[in-house]
Amino acid sequence: MKEVFIYTRFERFWHWCQAALIIFLAFTGFEIHGSFKLFGFDKAVSFHRTAAYILLGLIAFSIFWHFTTGGWKHYIPTSRKLVAQLRYYLSGMFKGEDHPVKRTELSKLNPLQRLVYLGLKLIIIPVMVISGLLYMFYGTLGISGIIGDVELKSIATLHVLGAFVMLSFLVVHIYMTTTGRTPLSNIKAMLTSYEEIEEEDKGQISIK
């Protein structure tokens, strides 16, 4: 076994802050929606708005970081080993086969992760941010000049639908973290930067 460096300090900070904020937004959001009672409606609204502003700050910072460091390149989609990766998740990993793609600091994401995370960044998060901001400033700041006659109800429905997609992503994402070399090795890598991999090369390739 050897330890390889995978995640930078920024990536770990960004990942865990984003995770905590999204989970908190989901809790407060579904309380506003009426799914359960925890903080009380008024506090849930105020907490949700504060967490949303912090998330917006984090998003702006992470966009700046990804573009200045070239980190965005990790998300370039590729079809190389895509089918092999899919086959691995659907059957190979249950038979103890090796991961088809080797992870390195320069290539952290397998082809399936690239597609899913890109979709999250380009579709789901923008839907949540835009619908959330429209919700927040509905009837003010000349929003009606931008969205015309769209009812608040439709914006809320879009926001809640996005929230369900985010929750589904979260469940699948947490399950997928357990599919590394050991059930906790992926989480350990995101906490410590390092991942243990087998020294012996089993023909896996690293996707650039």
Nearest Cα neighbor of 62 from 48, 51, 52, 72 is 72
DSSP one-letter code for 28? H
Does residue 45 interact with ligand HEM by CB under 6 A? Answer: yes
Q: For 4, phi and psi rounded to 5 degrees?
A: -115, 145
DSSP one-letter code for 140? S
Contact set for ligand HEM, span 143-162 (CB under 6 A): 156, 159-160
Query: Closer to ligand HEM at the Cβ: 126 or 183?
Result: 126
Q: How far is CA 163 from CA 126, 186, 192, in A?
A: 12, 25, 29
Does residue 4 interact with ligand HEM by CB under 6 A? Answer: no
Query: Closer to ligand HEM at the Cβ: 25 or 101?
Result: 25
Does residue 25 interact with ligand HEM by CB under 6 A? Answer: yes
Does residue 49 interact with ligand HEM by CB under 6 A? Answer: yes
Does residue 93 interact with ligand HEM by CB under 6 A? Answer: no
What is the 3-class SS of 103-127, one letter each residue?
CCCCCCCCHHHHHHHHHHHHHHHHH
Among the listed ranges 9-17, 109-117, 127-135, 176-184, the one in contact with ligand HEM (CB under 6 A) is 127-135
Cα(101)–Cα(111) distance, rounded to whole angstroms?
Answer: 9
Does residue 30 interact with ligand HEM by CB under 6 A? Answer: yes
Does residue 130 interact with ligand HEM by CB under 6 A? Answer: no
Does residue 132 interact with ligand HEM by CB under 6 A? Answer: yes
Does residue 100 interact with ligand HEM by CB under 6 A? Answer: no
Nearest Cα neighbor of 167 from 15, 22, 10 is 22
The sign of the torsion formed by the CA atoms of 131, 132, 133, 137 equals: positive
Contact set for ligand HEM, span 161-190 (CB under 6 A): 163, 166
Pick the binder of ligand HEM from 6, 101, 109, 128 (CB under 6 A): 128
Q: Tell how far CA 95 is from the center of its chain.
A: 28
Residues that bind ligand HEM (CB under 6 A): 22, 25-26, 29-30, 32-33, 45, 48-49, 52, 55-56, 128-129, 132-133, 135-136, 156, 159-160, 163, 166
